[in-house]
Amino acid sequence: MSAQTPLHHCLDDNINAICEMFGHSDDLSVRLLDLPENPMALLFIGSLVDRQIVDEFVVNPLLQSGLGDASLQNGLPVATSRFKALASLEEAAERLLQGDTLILADSPAKAYSADTPGGEQRPISEPASESVVRGPKDSFTETIQINIGLIRKRLYTTDLRVINLNIGNTSHTPITVIYLQGIAREDIVTEVQNRLKRIDIDGILESQYIEEIIEDPHGYTPFPTIFSTERPDRVCAGLLEGRVAILTGGTPFALIVPSVLPMFLYSNEDYYQRFDVATFLKVLRTVTFVLSFTMPGFYVMLLTFHQEMIPTMLLIALAGQREGVPFGIAVEVTIMELTFEILREAGIRLPKTIGIAVSIVGGLVLGQAAVSAGLIGPGTVITVSLTAICSFSTPSYGIAIASRLIRFVLLFLSAVFGAFGFFCGIIFLIIHINKLRSFGVPYMSPIVPFHLRDWKDILVRFPWWAMTTRPHETAAPSARVRMRGKNKWNGDPEGSRPT
């Protein structure tokens, strides 16, 4: 930690020193208060404070008090929620950057900070990337205090622990670690804090910076091992399972650790619907995720090397469709996959009103035109289209991108080695996933290692009255049971109905 510079004994010297630290920046406002026997100065950064709060709760009380020497001995009459005496110029500069108003006194030389946060803030809105039909409609914002409040409003408990950090030698980005005392494992909480404190970087502008730095060292992997979400209810659900949340100032996306593969394949809406409907959707989502990276490679494998595995009538139909097509199956599929990726990116970058039209209409027009021109077979267009639809059904954007990368690897192996390359790629993928860890927790948990009780929330979703335990790998041993006693209502006992 750098040495702290004590305050000077003269008001003008303190003002000049702070202005020098900020390079006499034009947005640093200095206001002198000519009070009887005790001149003062107010310093604040205009873009970070609420000027109405400064005038009403700082300036007016100071002017109305008169402030003789005796007033300083009892503190200043400032009516803000947080008021703190400062001992060094570095601490004063830090409070200015946090949106506080700095109060400098001349006799004796003292400095105080008053809480006057302001600036433009985005209102709470519906999640853009994790929308649901039934469930809460609010999402995190870029303001970290608002995000903490959204969590507090769902978990009314004194066990909620909030730890504030600042990361970035230049940006000093506020980072908040949140967990539930008694439910989260202490070793995981300690490891999260240690990894965050070891970060030495000039600035943090988004939570992805932190995600890549603190994830477990397992070499390269396309799979995200830290879950990111903009939904407060998703974070609260993770906290109740013993996980730890990391909030980053300046971004609406929170991180949840440790994270396992099944977390990326379910939606929060699964817990706001009946368990039988949720089970059907979970199975459907898992199947479509697997199809999203295996279908093109499997299609190329069959038509290139193993036509004997295709029923005769279907093979004749596919062969007839490909009559006159100048490219091989692998080249066709690769061209169409790259075309869909380009259309997907174009739809994201264009304005929302025309982006959807470009991606959908462009895909239909290009596909139909390619088939009509004899460049692509209809079967290839159907396969690639189904693959794209399956990837859209994956609820997590991070895992969907991973499937897109794996798709091209399996496509290459299938085109070169046939079934041998395809299934070797699948086996290698399974081995790779089993090697991954998220803060020491196996990525395939509770499948590997096997925990039967945790299977109530994997491919199927048991009713709430049956999910009586927390995940084995994340919850503290003393907090594994989340629901006690008889929870299923089986009808009123005789005589208990109201009359």
The answer to the question of residue 467 being in a domain is no
Within this chain, do residues 80 and 48 fall inside the same structural domain, yes or no? Answer: yes
Q: What tokens does 10 get?
A: 């003269």
Within this chain, do residues 323 and 234 fall inside the same structural domain, yes or no? Answer: no
User: What is the full per-residue pLDDT of the chain (499 aa) written as tens digits?
Assistant: 456 888 888 888 889 999 999 988 888 989 888 776 678 889 999 888 888 888 888 888 888 776 544 444 455 677 777 888 888 888 888 889 888 899 888 767 788 888 888 777 788 888 888 888 888 889 999 989 899 999 999 999 999 999 999 999 888 899 999 999 999 999 999 999 999 999 999 999 999 999 999 999 877 899 999 999 999 999 999 999 999 999 999 899 999 999 999 999 888 888 898 999 999 999 999 999 999 999 999 999 988 888 888 888 887 887 777 777 777 888 888 988 888 888 777 777 776 666 666 666 666 677 777 777 777 888 888 888 889 888 888 888 889 899 999 999 999 999 999 999 999 999 999 999 999 999 999 999 998 888 888 888 888 888 888 888 899 889 998 888 888 766 676 665 554 554 4
The answer to the question of residue 171 being in a domain is yes
Q: What tokens does 490 get?
A: 């089986």
Q: What is the per-residue burial (b if ≥16 Cβ within 10 Å, else e) of 414-424?
A: bbeebbebbbe
The answer to the question of residue 476 being in a domain is no
Hey, is 274 helix, strand or coil? coil
Tell me the angle at which helices 329-349 and 397-417 cross, rounded to the nearest 10 degrees: 160
The answer to the question of residue 492 being in a domain is no
The answer to the question of residue 317 being in a domain is yes
Residue (of 292, 297, 318) closest to 307 by Cα position: 318
Question: What is the model's pLDDT at position 9?
Answer: 84
Within this chain, do residues 53 and 189 fall inside the same structural domain, yes or no? Answer: no
Residue 347: give the domain boundaries: 273-442
Question: What is the model's pLDDT at position 352?
Answer: 65
**Which domain-ending residue is among 95, 115, 135?**
115
Contacts of residue 461, Cβ cutoff 8 Å, sequence gap at least 6:
270, 271, 275, 278, 279, 282
Place of tokens 């994790």: 130
The number of domains in the chain is 3
Q: For residues 180 and 238, what is the distance between their CA atoms, to the nearest angstrom?
A: 10
Within this chain, do residues 391 and 286 fall inside the same structural domain, yes or no? Answer: yes
**Which domain-ending residue is among 201, 232, 259?**
259
Question: What is the model's pLDDT at position 2?
Answer: 57
Place of tokens 């008694």: 182
The answer to the question of residue 464 being in a domain is no
Q: What tokens does 337 get?
A: 């996959």
pTM reported for the whole predicted model: 0.86
Within this chain, do residues 78 and 187 fall inside the same structural domain, yes or no? Answer: no
Hey, is 246 helix, strand or coil? strand
The answer to the question of residue 453 being in a domain is no
Within this chain, do residues 304 and 423 fall inside the same structural domain, yes or no? Answer: yes
Within this chain, do residues 27 and 51 fall inside the same structural domain, yes or no? Answer: yes
Residues linked to residue 248 through DSSP beta bridges, in sequence order? 175
Instruction: Output the CA–CA distances (angstroms, integers) from residue 432 to 317, 409, 422, in the order listed.
Output: 38, 14, 15
**Which domain-ending residue is among 415, 442, 469?**
442
Polymer length in residues for the chain? 499
**Amino acid identity, position 21:** M
Residue (of 69, 362, 401) closest to 223 by Cα position: 401
The answer to the question of residue 462 being in a domain is no
Question: What is the model's pLDDT at position 65?
Answer: 72
Whether the upstream peptide bond of residue 258 has omega within 30° of 0, thus cis, is yes
**326: burial class by Cβ within 10 Å (0-12, 13-18, 19+)?**
exposed
Place of tokens 């409609």: 137
CB-CB contact of 246 with 151 (8 Å): no
Q: What angle do CA 114, 119, 120 make, to 5 degrees?
A: 155
Q: For residues 270 and 254, what is the distance between their CA atoms, to the nearest angstrom?
A: 20
Residue (of 445, 407, 443, 444) closest to 425 by Cα position: 407
DSSP annotation of 147 reads H
Place of tokens 């100065």: 41
Within this chain, do residues 297 and 433 fall inside the same structural domain, yes or no? Answer: yes
Within this chain, do residues 319 and 241 fall inside the same structural domain, yes or no? Answer: no
CB-CB contact of 422 with 323 (8 Å): no
Question: What is the model's pLDDT at position 388?
Answer: 85
Within this chain, do residues 287 and 400 fall inside the same structural domain, yes or no? Answer: yes
Question: What is the model's pLDDT at position 385?
Answer: 85
Within this chain, do residues 282 and 255 fall inside the same structural domain, yes or no? Answer: no
Q: For residues 296 and 300, what is the distance between their CA atoms, to the nearest angstrom?
A: 6
CB-CB contact of 304 with 296 (8 Å): no
Within this chain, do residues 197 and 292 fall inside the same structural domain, yes or no? Answer: no
Q: What is the three-state SS of 343-404?
A: HHHHHHHCCHHHHHHHHHHHHHHHHHHHHHCCCCCHHHHHHHHHHHHHHHCCCCHHHHHHHH
